[in-house]
Each structure stands twice: as C-alpha cells, then as structure tokens.
Amino acid sequence: MLTFENFDLSTNIISAIKELGYENPTPIQEKTIPHLLNTNQDLVGLAQTGTGKTAAFGLPILEQIDPRNKFTQCIILSPTRELCMQISKDMMGYAKYLPEIRVTAVYGGASIDNQIRDLKKGSHIIVGTPGRVLDLLQRRILKINQIKFLVLDEADEMLNMGFKEDMDAILETTPKEKQTLLFSATMPKEIRNIALNYMNNPEEISVGTKNSGADDVEHFYYLVNAKNRYLALKRIADINPDIFGIVFCRTRRETQEVADKLIQDGYNADSLHGDLSQAQRDHVMSKFRSKHLQILVATDVAARGIDVNDLTHIINYNLPDEREIYIHRSGRTGRAGKKGVSVSIVHSRELHKIREIQKILKKPINRKDVPGGEEICHKQLMNMISRIEKIETIDNQIEEFLPEIYEKLSWLSREDLLKRFVSVEFNRFLKYYKNAPDLNISEKSVNERTRKGRGIDGDDNRFEKKGYKFTKFFLTIGEKDGLTKVKLMEIINNDDRLAGAEIGKIEILKGFTFFEVDARLENEVIKAFNNKRYLGKRLKIEVKTGQPKRNSDRPKSSKSGKSEYGYSKKHESGKSKTAYSKGARTGGRKRS
C-alpha cells in the first residue's frame, strides 16, 4: 500500500499530515499528487466530496509555493463561505511546519475590510467565493496576475449557484502560464465547456465511475402517499435510534415546517436554511458538528459546504429535480471509509425520478418497506436494553441511596421491576404505534391508478390547480435578452427561497416577461429578482396589478402564441405541506 513517503513531498508536509492522522493516500490523492508534482498539465478531477481532494491538490501546491516571493501564487475558487473556511483551515493544517506560507480566505457575508487588511499583508494562497474574489479584484486589492495555480473546486456547484459570469471574469484576469485544476462531482455539459474554453489539454482523472455515488453508500426508497411523507420520516428516525443525518427539503418553508414538527414530536432536530442569520446557522452547525444534534433538516443551498464525516443517513424528504443534486446529497454520507445510507421518501409520481437517478448513479436504488409499529417498537426496546447494559454507573454516589430504593421497591418482583423501568421511556412508543397503519403503497396500485388517469393521493393531483392563488409579475427582460422558460425556471429553482414554488403561466415576450408564482411567495420573488443581473443586464421586477386580460387581448407568447396556463413543475411540495400539517402529532420521544 502506498504511503505519503512514496511521493516527493518535503518532510515538513509529511509531518503535518501524519499529525492529522493521514496514513495512506486516498485514490484521488494517489492520482493527483504525482501529477501535480511532476507535470504542468491541467487536470480535471471527477470526484465527490469527502474523497480527500483538498489534500490531493493542496499538498503538491504547498510543495511548490515559493515563500520568498510575496505575490499570490495560487487561487482556489469554491462555491460557499463554509467550504472556503474549510479549505483554508485544511491548507493551514497541511502548512503547519511551513509557517512562512500565508493562506487567506475571502468570502461574502463577512466584513470585506478585515479581508482587505489580511490581503494587504500579502498572501501566497487565496481561497475565495467567486463573488467576493471578483469584488476584490475590481477594487484592485487582490492581484492574481502572477499565479501559478488556479483551482476550481466543486465547479458544478459554482455553476449551479449562478457564478458562471463571475468565474469567467476572474479567469480572464489570470495569466496564460498557469496550471488549472478543476474538480467536480458531476460532469454536465457546462463543465465540459469550461474545461474546453479555459484549460489546456487537461488530463482527466476520476475516482469511482463517472457520476456515480460513493461506493460506501447504500441507496433505497420508501413508496408512500404524499400526505404520509412526514409520518414516514418519523418511522425512519424511529427505526434508526442512533441516526445522525441530514433531511433534505426543497424550500425554506418546508425545511422549517419539518424541523418544527420533529422538534415538537420530541426529536433532536433543527433546521438550516437561508432565512436564518449567519449566527443562527453557525450555532446549528456547531451543534451538529459536535453531534449534539441528531437530525439536521436543510435546504440544498444551506447544506452546501457541510463537511461532517460519520453521517449515518441522508434522507431525501423530496427527490430533487436535478439528478446531480441527488448525487451531491448522497455524497455527504459514506465518507472517509464509513458506510452510509441514502434514503428517499417517494410518492407515486416521483417513481420515474428514481429510475432517472439510477441511470447516472449506475447503482440500484431498491425499494424498502416503511417499517411497521411492531418492528419499530422491537428495535427501540432492544436499543434501550443495550443502552442499559452499557451504561456506566457511578457506584459511590448511587450507593448511599440504595437502601431507601430497596425498601421502596421491595414489594415488586424482579420481572415487575424490569417492566416498569423499561416502560418509563417505552410506553410512548407503544401507545403511538398501537394500531399504526401500514404506510406502504404498492407499485401495482400506483400503475393502475395512473392508467385510469387518477392520482393515487386524493390531495396530490398534478393537474389540480384549485386552491392556488398566483401573483403575476412583470420582469424587464425577455427573449431578446436570452431568457427562455427553462432559464426562468432555473433562476427560480436555483433560489433557495423559491425552489419548489408553484409556478403558473409564463409568457416570454421580446423585451419583457410575465410570469405567475404562488401568491404567498410574492416578497421572496421580488427579493430573488430585483436588482440582480441576468447576462449582465440589471433586472427590475414588479407585481402586475389588475386582472389578467382574457385570451383574446393577452399578449401572445413569442414562440407559439399559445396560452401557457398550467405550466408547472412541482405541485407535490405545496400539496404535501397541507397534507402533513393534518398528520398525526403524537409519539416520538425526547432524546438527550
């Protein structure tokens, strides 16, 4: 087996990583480290999070930084503040015995003045989010015209987050002679284009099969009625008493609702999403990192950059629309050689998504039955018994109370005593799961119902539009600005506040656009669009007041002229909210 001594790394670096407990290089390190040490060729690395890619590029880059030269020699672009902080912390750890090398992290959401002060001291390696890096370049604080290395980390995430233009602008200012490294968990066309446009004949390496999930992750799904999602989630938590995982939801609102209900039902859960302040997010993350929190309910955007090993479960409360997002979510477990499970709670109309995801995952996602009450009670009981077996007793402090306890309980038999001790915590489970219904639905019945043209869930009909009120918006860009329906949907779905929102009619005209969104999200839509830029053009958005005109005098769609009422991608999330808010609230338990 290879060790780090097999590479041409200096003893300073080897000592530092030994202290971090790294014994043998991971597969991506085996491939990347010698490549970077021995060649100037660009590199595209297809690798999931958790594969050890930070050290894969970090160690050979540190080896080649010249500390006497004060210029910035390496810039690492990364999608989120959390990832930037993580990477710079890792780099500083690897450089523990190279004290003259300076690493600075720059990211949005934090004071730019402090970062400017840091940069003015000179920094060999910059780790930054694209927006903040561009800002600092434009202020001429940051200079990257002499860099030797450019790293694009989690490049697909940076594109998903809308950083394409910022990245283009940054890349323009880098020197021609440099080594560019691009790491991505998935390889969509847009990433290939970056490799083509900005890289010079890159070597391509991948760990595992392309676009596949980590090998240590087992994938399965539960098929339930949409209205039973939350009940299924509770059963998943109950059948896994030692769960330490993330539940992914689509919208901030749904995230908060699911977390609130879990907390109310006695679970050790909390939420992470964009409506929380940075301080609140930091607080939740520190509870989660230190394992004082078992279940983190999060949106995809907020969970980016979470670097927590040992997660036992990833739970997809809803399946994401993009298959790549599933890969990202499930890649958060099964890390650093540990086994993990990625579970999806799926309702009838999401089955096709499971098939789609399997295609890129190149692994089966098998169905499992949602556990029934008896199975859960048995599991909980045995878990409690083994906790009792393992618990450490503080004998010298308990002993003085023992005579009194013996006396008080002397009338009980050993069997009665056991029953009573167990019941203290267990009665709630027995009561909650007594006569608990079977939540599973059969795939056969799904197919039959679908053939007959009815939804399996009475309250979850894709074509059912009743009950939604839409607000109509006027947006100051249109077809001539390159906007299409798909792009507009992308902007909406990529915004954490709006992902999964109910969308009504979209009309893209030459110079402007009308579209409808669930009226409850009016303010969020305005925040998401106003003063943002689309392909360089500043956006203005307004609520269109007054009744929409009728068909005859409505502006015609620029392409077909047809009415486009009913354009909607995601009815499930809105509906399931009403469904689970009616659901049972009993059961659960307090966890320490």
Q: Which is nearer to ligand AMP, 206 or 309 (CB)?
A: 309
Farthest-apart Cα atoms in the chain, separation: 90
Least Å distance, CB 93 to ligand AMP, is 8
245 is an interface residue for ligand AMP by CB under 6 A: no
25 is an interface residue for ligand AMP by CB under 6 A: yes
Candidate segments 18-26, 270-278, 348-356, 405-413, binder of ligand AMP by CB under 6 A? 18-26
Q: What are 395's two structure tokens?
A: 């004998």
Least Å distance, CB 467 to ligand AMP, is 44
Contact 63, 37 (CB under 8 A): yes
* Residue whose structure tokens are 């009940």: 231
330 is an interface residue for ligand AMP by CB under 6 A: no
Shortest CA distance to 329 belongs to which of 48, 22, 27, 25? 48
Candidate segments 43-51, 214-222, 432-440, 549-557, binder of ligand AMP by CB under 6 A? 43-51
Least Å distance, CB 111 to ligand AMP, is 26
Q: Measuring CA to CA, how many Å separate 440 from each of 222, 228, 446, 587?
A: 7, 9, 11, 19
31 is an interface residue for ligand AMP by CB under 6 A: no
Question: Is residue 140 left, alpha or beta, with left meaning phi > 0 and alpha meaning psi from -120 to 50?
Answer: left
Q: Which is nearer to ligand AMP, 28 or 499 (CB)?
A: 28
CA–CA dist 332, 313 (Å, integer): 9
CA–CA dist 237, 355 (Å, integer): 25
Least Å distance, CB 297 to ligand AMP, is 23
Candidate segments 38-46, 50-58, 109-117, 582-590, binder of ligand AMP by CB under 6 A? 50-58
Least Å distance, CB 26 to ligand AMP, is 5
53 is an interface residue for ligand AMP by CB under 6 A: yes
Q: Where are the beta strands (DSSP E) in 319-445?
A: 340-346, 366-367
Q: Who's near 29: CB < 8 A, 6+ residues apart?
A: 52, 55, 56, 59
51 is an interface residue for ligand AMP by CB under 6 A: yes
CA–CA dist 544, 552 (Å, integer): 18
**φ and ψ at 461, to 5 degrees?**
-85, 125
Q: Which is nearer to ligand AMP, 86 or 255 (CB)?
A: 86
Shortest CA distance to 73 belongs to which of 130, 124, 126, 143? 124
Q: Which is nearer to ligand AMP, 152 or 346 (CB)?
A: 152
**Strands 503-508 and 533-534, how do they pair?**
unpaired
Q: Which is nearer to ligand AMP, 29 or 294 (CB)?
A: 29
Shortest CA distance to 314 belongs to which of 338, 344, 285? 344
Least Å distance, CB 246 to ligand AMP, is 16
Least Å distance, CB 25 to ligand AMP, is 5
Q: Which is nearer to ligand AMP, 212 or 240 (CB)?
A: 212
Least Å distance, CB 556 to ligand AMP, is 51
Q: Choose which of 41, 174, 206, 309 interacts with ligand AMP (CB under 6 A).
A: 309
CA–CA dist 24, 51 (Å, integer): 13
CA–CA dist 492, 481 (Å, integer): 17
CA–CA dist 394, 411 (Å, integer): 25
334 is an interface residue for ligand AMP by CB under 6 A: no
Contact 569, 454 (CB under 8 A): no
Q: Choose which of 30, 33, 42, 49 interacts with ligand AMP (CB under 6 A).
A: 49
Q: Which of residues 409-428 bind ligand AMP (CB under 6 A)?
A: none
Q: Which is nearer to ligand AMP, 13 or 521 (CB)?
A: 13
Q: Which is nearer to ligand AMP, 37 or 141 (CB)?
A: 37
Q: Measuring CA to CA, how many Å separate 222 from each of 361, 462, 465, 515?
A: 18, 20, 27, 35
Q: Choose which of 45, 50, 130, 245 interacts with ligand AMP (CB under 6 A).
A: 50
Q: Choose which of 32, 54, 342, 493 interacts with ligand AMP (CB under 6 A).
A: 54
Sequence-distant contacts of 561-564: CB under 8 A, at least 24 apart: 563/505, 564/485, 564/505, 564/506, 564/507
Q: How many residues bind ligand AMP (CB under 6 A)?
A: 14
From residue 479 to residue 508, the character string flagging contacts with ligand AMP as x (rule: CB under 6 A) and all else as - is ------------------------------
Q: Who's near 467: CB < 8 A, 6+ residues apart?
A: none
Least Å distance, CB 47 to ligand AMP, is 8
Q: Choose which of 22, 198, 221, 515 interacts with ligand AMP (CB under 6 A).
A: 22
From residue 279 to residue 308, the character string flagging contacts with ligand AMP as x (rule: CB under 6 A) and all else as - is ----------------------------x-
Least Å distance, CB 28 to ligand AMP, is 8
333 is an interface residue for ligand AMP by CB under 6 A: no
The total number of residues shown for the chain amounts to 592
Candidate segments 25-33, 206-214, 288-296, 555-563, binder of ligand AMP by CB under 6 A? 25-33
CA–CA dist 384, 379 (Å, integer): 9
Contact 127, 78 (CB under 8 A): yes
336 is an interface residue for ligand AMP by CB under 6 A: yes
Q: Which is nearer to ligand AMP, 83 or 259 (CB)?
A: 83
**Edge to edge, what strands does the sheet with 43-46 contain?**
103-106, 125-128, 74-77, 149-152, 179-184, 43-46, 203-206
Q: Which is nearer to ligand AMP, 51 or 344 (CB)?
A: 51
Query: b/e per residue, 338-354, with b = 16+ CB within 10 A?
Result: eebbbbbbbbbbbbebb
Candidate segments 30-38, 52-60, 143-151, 378-386, binder of ligand AMP by CB under 6 A? 52-60
Binding site for ligand AMP (CB under 6 A): 22, 25-26, 29, 49-55, 307, 309, 336
